[in-house]
Amino acid sequence: MQGLKWRLLSRVLQSFIVLIGIITITFFLSRVVPSDPAALWAGQHARPEQVERIRHELGLDKPLYIQYIIHVQKLFTGDWGISYRTHMPVLEDILQRLPATVELTIVATVIAVAIGIPLSILAAVNKDKIIDKVINLIVGASALSVPSFWLALLLQIIFARTLGILPLQGRLSPEVVEMYPIKHITGLYLIDSLLTGNLVAFKDALAHIILPALSLACYSIGITIRMTRASLIEVLREKYIIAAEAFGIPKSKIRFKYALKNAIIPTLTILGITFAWNLMGAYLIECVFNWPGLGTYTWRAILAADYPVIVATTTLAGFIMLVVNFTIDLIHIYLDPRVKF
């Protein structure tokens, strides 16, 4: 137990060092971009003396190492700066847009698990048969190779423009926002609408999230099928599985209770990483569907050279990835005590 505590402490320390590295690299890279944040803040018609005054107020006239020290101090005290584009606190902007991205990522992950796990089991138990080849080559390969933004545009053309059965973009219809507003509780529209019994808004929010979630889940579906199938095939060859079959234990129980539990461990790692990546990397999907999340916010900040937003969202992405990796390691230890950090 004492050894495990030291390994946990060591892993936390390593993660902190990595986080400091991310903050440092992002800060200095953002200063390399050839633009003037003070002029961006002041606006197009600002006079030179106004730009200089704003540069002094923002601390951009200080030496670069002083700016870095101030930035790190503010970052760890919750002051993530003011957006040059929106003139709002960056942390406030992020907290306002984070629920939309979290909801989209959760739904995409649920879709990936609901589709990928059953198909991978079906492929593994029918190894080298026609159904295995269809699932592995067509479903898995196409899901891994199709660009998500291209799939998003294709789904829009088919289901929104041609068939007209799903919304084209946005998170809620304007008429629903006006007539059936969702009371803010968690910021997740699907959950908040259910908690308040607003079924009209729930149906509308569900219809809006289907296409972007499917587009975002495409890669996760493919990697889930590939990883789980390969791992399950290997586990089904283990001696304890063969012995369980010899004792006459039902095959369904062997596959789901014994084999899948061990085979799912590599898949959890991939799903955790893709969840963190989708959470902070869904720029194209959010832009295509005009989804008001962190992806759209960060993309607009990049186009506007909004340094505080770029540094804050990049730091947040690194922090989320570190937390997810640490959590996955803990889940591995719980599922398989033989695993060590």
Per-residue pLDDT tens, the chain, 341 aa: give them. 556 677 778 778 888 888 888 888 888 877 766 666 666 666 666 677 777 777 777 777 778 788 888 888 888 887 888 887 888 888 888 888 889 998 999 999 899 888 888 888 888 888 888 888 888 777 766 777 788 888 899 999 999 888 888 898 889 998 988 888 888 888 899 999 999 989 999 999 999 999 999 998 888 888 888 888 888 888 777 777 777 777 777 777 777 666 777 777 777 777 777 787 777 667 788 888 988 888 888 888 887 777 788 888 888 888 888 888 788 777 777 666 555 54
Q: How far apart are the first and last CA of the chain?
A: 13
Non-local CB neighbours of 230 within 8 Å, separated by 6+ positions: none
Q: What whole-number distance in Å separates Cα of residue 39 and Cα of residue 58?
A: 11
CATH topology of domain 90-335: MetI-like fold (1.10.3720)
pLDDT value at position 335? 65
For residue 294, which of 268, 323, 320 has the smallest C-alpha distance? 320
pLDDT value at position 329? 75
Q: What are the helix and strand counts (H, E) for the chain?
A: 17, 0
Q: What whole-number distance in Å separates Cα of residue 229 and Cα of residue 119?
A: 8
Q: What whole-number distance in Å separates Cα of residue 185 and Cα of residue 187?
A: 6
Q: What whole-number distance in Å separates Cα of residue 224 and Cα of residue 219?
A: 8
pTM summary value: 0.81
Question: Could you tell me how far CA 120 lies from the centroid of its own chain?
Answer: 23
CB 60 within 8 Å of CB 47: no
